Chains A and B, each alone.
Chain A
Amino acid sequence: MADVAELTVLAEQGGPPSARRSGRRSPLRRLMRQRMGVLALTLLIPLYLAAFVGPLAYRASPTKTDPLHANAAVSRAHPLGTDELGRDELARLLHGGRVTLSVGLVSMVVALAVGLLVGGVAGYYAGWVEIALMRFVDMFMSIPPFFLILVELAVFGNSPVIVIVVVGLSYWGQIARVVYAEFLRFRQADFVEAMSALGARGPRILFRHILPQVVPSAVVLATLVIAWSILTAAALSYLGLGIQPPLASWGNMLQNAQSYIWLDTKLAVFPGVLIGVSVLSFNLLGNALRDVLDPRNAGQ
């Protein structure tokens, strides 16, 4: 499966290796990338701050219903109005942000952990371990992902922890393949043999030489996985799965708002825009990191 992994690496990293060699990244280009990275951070930092610190500053409850004041407009009491049950929209956006952004981060951690483990073990220990593991990855990635998520959620329930784990588990396969490919590329390199000849032991090679090579690709992929996780969680909420009410997430707020699209459009606009901005920022960040971290771009 090395060939397919290779392709995936290429796809994820934006092109065949030689495209990233000297001359492709002119200084002007890298500057623009950095600008995108800076833009991404200027969006993400306030978002995360608002989501995690905001609820401490703005104490309105996101779950207290007030049916007689449903779908209210902007007012002093409710800076962004209320939703269909009279709950404060700003509080729900803040608390929902906390949930959505956490889902993104933690799913990524899950995906990264499992992917690194499986891909690394397969890449490091060649032979039947490698074959068995990568076949397992194949099997996992052959099942239509949405479908697998649906069934997993049906089996294990849909508490927030389960949703996060399930979403994260959709992406570990891709990370495993990338990590495995990097290990493969590395195994071919001569200096592993040279290192062994010099007496360096396995774990030492692993940690001091191989991992640092793997980390850049993994980090770039990780930021993309955050973006994908947020989108997947939102799509799950659209189908009525995912994070369940009364816990607010931008995804389930968007799903609620669908019926109220004519009555109270703001309910659909805010969460949608926020999801788009977060995902966009992570994508931009991933692009910028790709430039900065990929050693093959170093020195250009």
Chain B
Amino acid sequence: MRTLLYRLLAAGAVLLALGATAAQAQNYDPNAVINMATNADPTFNPWYPGVGIESDLINSVIFEGLTRWDGNALPSPALATKWSVSPDGLTWTFDLRPNVKWQDGKPFTADDVAYTFNDIVLNNKLGANLANIYTPVDHVEVVNPLEVKFILKSPFSSLPSYLAYYEGILPKHIFQGVANPFKLPSFNKAHPIGTGPFMVQSYVSGAYVRLVRNPDYWGGTPKLAGMVFKIVPEPDAQVAQVLSGGLDLIRVDNPALLSRLQNAPGLSLDQQSENVYFFVILHQTDPRFQDVRVRQALLYAIDRNAIIKSVLKGYGEVATGPIAPVQKAYYDPTVKQYPYDPAEAKKLLAEAGWTPGPDGTLQKDGKPFEITIDEGQFGQLVPIALLVQQYWQDIGVKVKMNIMDWNSYLTKTYVKRDYQATVCWWRTPTTPDVSPYYLSSAAASGNNWPGYKDPHLDQLLETELAATSQEAKVAATKAVEQYVAQQLPYLYLYYPKTVVVRKSNLKGLLAINLPAAFQHTVDWYVSK
């Protein structure tokens, strides 16, 4: 009798000990649901024309691409496990991950990859989002259910990086037979099916999107039980909600809002950087701006540190070129610098033939130097443009401001290319390939917004695209950086620092930046 009792007690003790260890090991709340915000109604289809920041992060947790970013913003395996390129650079082979299921239980295969690219991305009639990135791709071939080949028209060394940039694979079994994948609101606006760690449970327009964990996710069971994205258009409202506890994580782009958040209890602020750069562009169809001395002078005239200090409250660093420091392997800090130097600016302009007239305004051949800056109401663009106006006026250029709403601005300056100068930004995938924004062929109708045409630059860019080794790629990239810093097709202003504000008990996020962190949400957790 006593032996039995002792045995039971011992068993009980062992069980208790085990239980205690288990509880300690599980130091996160398995039922936690976090609240985040997005600024407008999302569309659950990364290829839907016009999707942008309101949908990107949500789509990152529902869908996955062949690659994703790692903690160094370099492409790492996602739905593809490894990849290689042929010696001529025109065929890329991707091995796909086995045993991956769609959120409706069906198996993921190479057919889905082929369908997504051949039928959606490369279909010119559809106008898929960011499809122009894939112009070098001719088609995708299925080798076997776990292997695909990308057949290219021209070398494309950055293909793996681009495949990580919000390029989710879509399920063929849902879309086949549908004439237009963008006219399927049951998927795009209600119940999308992806391979990612979270799936949409419900969506109410103007209110929220509720996601729950995907228990069959190939990467393991997500630690969070779910996520809610509330639709909160105003940044100040997002800040108000994170302060009142209604949100667990927000991205703050306007540094003026940070003063209130800095000492708030229970919140952590993480400074992050992405591959974003802000610039002034001078339309190259205007002969005055085709003289490199004029471009350099107009950059010397701008005190970029003052802009960063005042408008950005210090959350930024001076930009030297299109490749941001976050791309540590490729960033070249030795390029030509342009410290604030109005005297140098005036000197260069004088060399270019612009001398002060009777009233102080610069003039050439009797014509005064007048520039009109068109600007759209978005973020910090207007205050920055106003400062640029002031700096140029200080060196004798007459500047007129033309401010309008964002939609009209894009139509005028970007679609119609009807502008002289404007301030804007490019947010690009973390890849050293900048050709879409600098090639002569992309000038009028592509993304070479200033319309800068330079055969030498084209050659440097093509060399980079054709690089087959990492060393060659780094060297070619640095050559591009040196050249554009000299020629200034864009006047580089700054790389912004985004601040992510989160509740201190939300952990497990990749530190580098939010887009990368959102590709690893299976690891996020709320500590107890």
Chain A residues with CB under 8 Å of chain B are: 63-65, 67-68, 70, 84-86, 154, 157-158, 240-241, 244-246, 258-263
Contact = CB atoms under 8 A, between A and B. Distances in A.
A99 to B, nearest CB: 15
Nearest to A87: B386
A262 B260 contact: yes
B390 A65 contact: yes
Contacts of B259: 262-263
Interface of B: prevailing SS: helix
Interface in B391-447: 401, 403-405, 407-408
B311 interface: yes
A67 B310 contact: yes
A35 B407 CA distance: 49
Interface in B290-328: 303, 306-307, 309-311
Given A85-B310, A86-B310, A65 B387 contact: yes
B254 A85 contact: no
B256 A154 contact: no
Contacts of B77: none
A213 B421 CA distance: 56
Nearest to A70: B310
A34 to B, nearest CB: 43
B387 A259 contact: no
A223 B93 CA distance: 75
Contacts of A67: 303, 306-307, 309-311, 387
Contacts of B260: 262-263
B383 A260 contact: no
Interface residues of B, number: 26
B387 A262 contact: no
Contacts of B389: 246
B404 A85 contact: no
22 contacts: A63-B386, A64-B390, A65-B386, A65-B387, A65-B390, A67-B306, A67-B309, A68-B309, A70-B311, A84-B311, A84-B383, A85-B383, A85-B387, A86-B310, A157-B404, A158-B404, A240-B405, A245-B382, A245-B401, A259-B236, A259-B254, A259-B256
Contacts of B405: 154, 158, 240-241
Contact of B257 (A154, A241, A244, A259): A259
A245 B373 CA distance: 13
Contacts of B235: 259
B377 interface: yes
Interface of B: 235-236, 254, 256-257, 259-260, 303, 306-307, 309-311, 377, 382-383, 386-387, 389-390, 401, 403-405, 407-408
A245 B367 CA distance: 27
Contacts of A158: 404-405
Contacts of B254: 259
A84 B236 contact: no
A64 B311 CA distance: 15
B311 A244 contact: no
Closest 7 CB pairs of A and B: A67-B310, A262-B260, A244-B403, A70-B310, A65-B390, A67-B306, A263-B259
Given A245-B403, A263-B256, A84 B408 contact: no
B377 A262 contact: no
A121 to B, nearest CB: 36
B383 to A, nearest CB: 6
A258 B236 contact: yes
A241 B409 CA distance: 13
A154 to B, nearest CB: 7
A272 B386 CA distance: 23
A245 B307 CA distance: 18
A154 B408 contact: yes
Contacts of B377: 240
A260 B236 CA distance: 10
A84 B256 contact: yes
Contact of A261 (B236, B386, B387, B408): B236
A154 B406 CA distance: 11
Given A63-B386, A85-B310, A263-B256, 16 more contacts: A65-B390, A68-B309, A84-B311, A84-B383, A85-B383, A85-B387, A154-B405, A154-B408, A240-B377, A241-B405, A246-B386, A246-B403, A259-B236, A259-B257, A261-B236, A263-B259
Contacts of A245: 382, 386, 401, 403
Contacts of A258: 236
B400 to A, nearest CB: 10
Contacts of A244: 403-404
Nearest to A259: B256
B324 to A, nearest CB: 23
